[in-house]
Chains A and B, each alone.
Chain A
């Protein structure tokens, strides 16, 4: 006896991440990847002092920690407006 046919396994409802969220994620990913690449393959560049004070490693490191908060606040504001 033939078993009953199984329906395809992709039910209609699939919650999606917001397009703005994805763009912000990709922008951050690019900055993060840039840091990892420089640290891995061009370490001496991190010792340079682009603004005369602290070195690039510190500046870039702080940027990577502070940027998520700035992006997150922008996203929060946009998402709040979108929901209104």
Chain B
């Protein structure tokens, strides 16, 4: 879909970025020492730190990814909201206060506080770097995707722009500027999303949002008798790859070919197409130069009570109305016909009741409904049962990763060092939970609002929330897009801080033994931030086409597998040894990394196999490793600790 660059959007965007950079330079004078650069002198007020938690945590995946998934698939995206928030329970009740008491600058500090082990410092630093890099890639890809419609720039321009701005933020004042940028971003994000939600509820729901919104003016034809559609047009014979497909191709008097999906009772429904042939692309049968484009989508085809408009709705009424409506979702099919490739998006009227339960997204399709029964007389039922069971284990594994991963993310953990004591760590976590929880409640309304506002871009689910704002005018669109961009800035700056701390404080000073005074430590950290920023930009451009949602899921899996067993056992088992921690992190990192890189999802999205070949080549039976690798981390720690403890006692 083509987006027109808006001058207003550019002005609002430049104002946001200018304000953020101005704050960074102003705060730069406060972070000359290592304590200032890495931990903001431990003097950030607990309320500010709590909102900064939200700014740090609510990444592009949360805002753009979840809203997009809900807008296109319903409840499935909300599963991520639930899992991401649940992880904060582990952070508050188990991790917050002890880690504040144990650490100084980095996650490795806390793990190593009782041991002074180079092995722990080395493995914890490497784990921090790997998790941060996995988390950075989707943020950079998201920034590139966002900048395209906002400023009309190429994807790689967006990646370079966000990378450069973040590096400037970090090198001017380290954790001080990072904290305030995250505070501003967290406040604005929650506030504007709340305003947008109120606007959605006040507007209510329409059968025909296209005539109401500032987006499309095109209402789609659904299930009309074929004779009405084909009149005056030539039917293109269904040959080659089109044979047996549920489509009819019609050529009008100008020679433009449109594709229609056949339905029950001889009806036809309108589709949208992109045809790639001979290096040329046709959008709905017409080249871009001749005005060809895809129309924005997203509407309800039938409201309960057969009304056209509900009027203002309360939050519960809004959800119940969608649950009782029929919503038109869009399916996608790619048809390769000789040298031509057709991408066809077709309308799928779906009962709201089906949308409001898990199982509509391909990722969660395997958990829809109950487990199939096994009939001993029919061997194929056993295979269907096994497949369904593996899908469910994969889902449980993802929910374990989200639950255990939050409290193990290095860029979240370092935020506990920016407040003065354990009580402030606790209070700031509660503020963070309130802000983050409120935001995740809003994601359901934003996603469903986007689903029914006629503004969705079929080619980019990540743009659903900003495009929803467009339904209310250019200014809301400009504000939400600029906030989405600062969302990326806030999270990326936290990740680069975590990585820079791991490189300089853990690896250079504590592992390699470099003797650095305070000033040189800060200087090295700034150089490390530039290097990590450059690496993130390169990876963001390299993985431009990759689906960002599962990359974030992988970061949670690796963090949970590598870091949580070590953190928990350090706090709850006095028999924990330094070798136990070192091996638990090593096995957790390597095990989860090998698992995700050998999964079906990686075979398809990273190595480029087709769906069928990806399943054949996968080394592991399901894609999310946490259900195996988190327990593996605990077992490794216990076994190694028991062995090394006995040895130590024997030597004593």
Give the contact stretch, choosing among B92-100, B332-340, B615-623: B92-100
By the criterion CB–CB under 8 Å, are B319 and A54 in contact?
yes
Q: Which residues of chain A are near B97, meaning CB under 8 Å? A: 15, 17-18
Contact A57 B357, CB 8 Å, known A41-B370, A64-B86, A65-B81 = yes
Do residues B430 and A72 form an inter-chain contact, with CB atoms below 8 A? Answer: yes
B210 within 8 A of A: no
Confirm or deny: B396 has a beta carbon within 8 angstroms of a beta carbon on chain A: yes
Contact indicator B437/A14 (Cβ below 8 Å): no
A1 interface residue per 8 A CB criterion: no
- Residue interface bits A9-20, CB-to-B below 8 A is 1, else 0: 111011111100
- B90 interface residue per 8 A CB criterion: yes
Asked if B191 CB lies within 8 Å of chain A CBs, one says no
Residues of A within 8 A of B227 (CB): none
State whether the Cβ of B114 lies closer than 8 Å to any Cβ in chain A.
yes
Q: What is the number of residues of chain B that contact chain A, defined by CB distance less than 8 Å?
A: 64
- Report how far A65 CA is from B87 CA in the complex, Å: 10
Q: Is the CB of A14 within 8 A of B115?
A: no
Q: Report yes or no: A42 in contact with B574, Cβ–Cβ below 8 A.
A: no
CB of B645 closer than 8 Å to a CB of A: yes
- Identity of the chain B residue whose Cβ is nearest the Cβ of A79 in the assembled complex: B426
Establish whether residues A65 and B85, one from each chain, have CB atoms under 8 Å apart when the complex forms: yes
Q: Is B652 an interface residue (CB 8 A)?
A: yes
User: Total A-B residue pairs with C-beta atoms closer than 8 Å?
Assistant: 164
Main secondary structure of the interface of B (DSSP, over half): helix
Is there an interface contact between A15 and B370, defined as CB atoms closer than 8 Å?
A: no
Bound: A14/B651 CA distance, A: 24
Q: Are A83 and B423 in contact (CB under 8 A)?
A: yes
B90 contacts A11, CB within 8 Å? no
- Compute how far the CA of A72 lies from the CA of B577 in the bound complex, rounded to whole angstroms: 32
Q: Cβ of B572: which chain A residues have Cβ within 8 Å of it?
A: 17
A residues in contact with B81, CB < 8 Å:
61, 65
Nearest CB on B from A31, distance (A): 9
Q: Are B395 and A68 in contact (CB under 8 A)?
A: no
Question: Is B17 located at the chain interface by the 8 A CB criterion?
Answer: no
- Asked if B368 CB lies within 8 Å of chain A CBs, one says yes
**With known contacts A40-B395, A44-B369, A46-B357, A21–B85 Cβ distance under 8 A:** no
Query: Smallest CB-CB separation from A62: which chain B residue?
Result: B441
Chain B residue at minimum C-beta to C-beta distance from A3: B651
Chain A nearest Cβ from B549, distance in angstroms: 18
**Residues of chain A contacted by B571 (CB below 8 angstroms):** 14-17
Q: Are B392 and A41 in contact (CB under 8 A)?
A: yes
B427: interface (CB < 8 Å): yes
CB A74 to nearest CB in B, in angstroms, measures 10
Q: Which of the four size classes fits the interface of chain A?
A: 35 or more
Q: Is B508 on the interface with A (CB-CB < 8 A)?
A: no
Asked if A25 contacts B93 (CB within 8 A), the reply is yes
Q: How far is the CB of A50 from chain B (nearest CB, A)?
A: 13
Q: Which chain A residues in 21-56 approach chain B with CB under 8 Å?
A: 21-22, 24-25, 28-29, 32, 35-36, 39-44, 46-47, 53-55
B70-102 contact mask (Cβ, 8 Å, vs A): 1 or 0: 000001001101100110111011110110011
Cβ–Cβ contact B93 & A14, under 8 A: no
Kindly identify which residue among B82, B88, B93, B356 contacts A17, using a CB–CB cutoff of 8 Å.
Answer: B93
- Between A and B, 28 residue pairs with Cβ closer than 8 Å are A6-B648, A8-B648, A10-B576, A11-B115, A15-B97, A15-B98, A17-B95, A17-B97, A24-B89, A25-B93, A40-B392, A40-B395, A41-B392, A42-B370, A44-B370, A47-B356, A54-B316, A55-B356, A57-B357, A61-B78, A61-B81, A62-B441, A64-B85, A65-B437, A72-B429, A75-B92, A76-B426, A76-B430
A: residues with CB less than 8 A from B are 3, 5-11, 13-18, 21-22, 24-25, 28-29, 32, 35-36, 39-44, 46-47, 53-55, 57-58, 61-62, 64-66, 68-69, 71-73, 75-76, 79-80, 83
Residues of B that sit less than 8 Å from A by CB: 75, 78-79, 81-82, 85-86, 88-90, 92-95, 97-98, 101-102, 114-115, 316, 319-320, 323, 353, 356-359, 367-371, 392, 395-396, 399, 403, 423, 426-427, 429-430, 433-434, 437, 440-441, 444, 570-572, 574-578, 644-645, 648-649, 651-652
- Give 5 closest A-B pairs by Cβ, nearest first: A21-B93, A25-B93, A15-B98, A40-B392, A15-B101
Given A14-B114, A25-B90, A83-B423, 9 additional A-B pairs, CB 8 A:
A11-B115, A14-B574, A15-B102, A25-B89, A29-B89, A61-B75, A61-B444, A66-B441, A73-B430
